[in-house]
Amino acid sequence: MYGRIAITYTGEIMSEKYFTWKMKSRGKVDTVKGVDEHGDFKSRQWEDKQGNPCYNFWDIEADHPRTAVNYSVRKA
């Protein structure tokens, strides 16, 4: 890790972001550091059936994808 970017094992540079939302599984608001691309993974955004904004991204600390609902996002 160097400053505000991360370099993957393939040498690509990732722009980190902080995602904040109320996690149903944890029952609290939390912030997670993530990126839009990781290996073959590419993030996506959509609205669910209730009209809530959703953002699927790669959680770089847990090393797996997550989906935030009714989220806020800011650069790391």
- The token duo for 71 is 């989220």
* Whole-prediction pTM: 0.80
**Rounded CA separation 4/14 (Å):** 9
**Tens of pLDDT, residues 11-62:** 555 689 999 999 998 899 999 999 999 999 999 999 999 999 999 999 999 9
Can you give the pLDDT at residue 6?
52
Residue 40's alpha-carbon distances to 32, 34, 50, in angstroms, are 20, 15, 29
Task: Note the pLDDT of residue 76.
Answer: 87
pLDDT at 3 over 50: no
Contact 64, 12 (CB under 8 A): no
Instruction: Return d(Cα 66, Cα 58) in angstroms, integer.
Output: 6
